[in-house]
Structure 1
Amino acid sequence: MDRVKRLIGIVGLVVLLEPSVGAGVYGYVGGPLRNVTDLAPTCAGCHSSFSKEQLRNEPEAVANSQVKENKHYKALEDGTGPYEKMSPADRQKLLADVKLMDELASIVLNAPTSLKPGQEAQVTVTVKGGHGVVGVFLVDTDLRFQARPLQGDGWVIVAAPKVWGGDGNEQTKWVDSRAPGLRKNLNSTVIFDQKSDLAAKKLAEGKVVWTVKAPQEPGTYSITAAFHFGSERASSVGTVTTPTGQVLPRGGPGGPSARIMFAKPVTVTVR
């Protein structure tokens, strides 16, 4: 009887986990559009780390497995996984395009370096890279698996972030997706309809401005931002279309072709 109870318990656990496992494998194609809330880079386990610096607290083997050169480039070079059926010429083309995207991509954060407790200030983040949708999250550290929304360190985000896309127009689509009655002062935003032209070496640009209040407790604080963007969609050989008409990156919806890049952290003294 005890064995039967244990079996029932195991089956029940699998049933409970199945939806989340399926969602995790599939990934957020086109961005986490249903998760209109505060976000951190820990949600994007399938992405490749742009550099090893953001993994400096991790074991060497973990860090090596997450950087783009090993997690993404190598599969393209070897023709493994989702790239197995690509011709050598197409793989070479896609790899060159991906490397160009990585070479030109950037994120810069500007913020005051000295504030009084509770003082309002603006934090401006400019990004370059990606194609389609990109994400920008305001966080407290540039450690990929330990960064948290900036509010966790005593900051207050006063209002909804102001966002401009590559066409220069202001966007409110992300915060407008919040449920009625919920505040829109999020640490996250998604920038839509970004268009990069790799042939012209011109990547999509975007800008986000947050109005924040400094922590009440005097001390030294760190501010940075995480930039999530895809590296394949801008390439002429970087997408596949499913039977239902959905356009996916060549590496798949849960593949490593997307990136996590951090801005250089700014140290803010509150006194």
Structure 2
Amino acid sequence: MRTVSSIKELRSLLKEARPKTVGFVPTMGYLHEGHLSLVDQAKEKADVVVMSIFVNPLQFGPNEDLAKYPRDIERDRYLAASRGVDILFFPSVEEMYPEGSKTIVTVKDITDSMCGASRPGHFDGVATVVTKLFNIVQPDYAFFGMKDAQQVAVITQMVRDLNMPIEIVPCPIVREPDGLALSSRNVYLSAEEREQALVLSRSLKRAEEMVAMGERDAAALRSAIKSIIQESPLAEIDYIEIRSYPELMPMEELRGHCIVALAVRFGRTRLIDNIMLVASQEETACSVR
């Protein structure tokens, strides 16, 4: 595995690799099995796998955890190499955002709700850095985990609108055996917070069961989810959203492709989770995507 920190060197390596196909896995590092599962998917579809590790300051708000975001590049380098990454791109902030940068990429409408509502400017930062990374790497495929399903919807929309010749490949959420969705931020949780955070997957499971039994009323599903989460005294709900996917339009009655999405704080740690459902209007027809 080659590790590079300059855009010029990365482009030189990729020029030598062409016409082989390139799969790209953008991350903020502190790798876990969720990230590494993206590498597995990339290796199945592409000849060369590039992973980036960059903690993007543009997507953090003024009171968020940019300075404390977990970092361990040597650990990440070992995990990436052991899983089969060919090129690891590890740029500095100065490399990605030279002095005088004035361009921001904005995706409208689908960024107004969910994490976009509670983290103003977050998706401008995501769209900007991903556009830059796509321009640098010029991948054939890019792999993103569905734990942040809104991010996947935003990037897919951006790629389509800007006619980028890239296939976005959504990949399933990876969970711990007890159901907790993997996240680099899980390291922040105390033992008690970690235990109580299991209400997220438990509440989503309950929503899935209710829909399978014929429930289509979004308010009833939100109420059931809320009551389960509130069983955890440490949980502070940011949002419980039920929307169409990928359009992210609000729904009063479930139909077609939809997402049940949560953001909940445990202490100072904000966790997100979701489940994707396909709900027909037949009384008991429901499937998990």
For normalisation by structure 2, the TM-score amounts to 0.23
Higher helix share: 2
Higher strand share: 1
Higher relative contact order structure (alpha carbons within 8 Å, sequence separation ≥ 6): 1
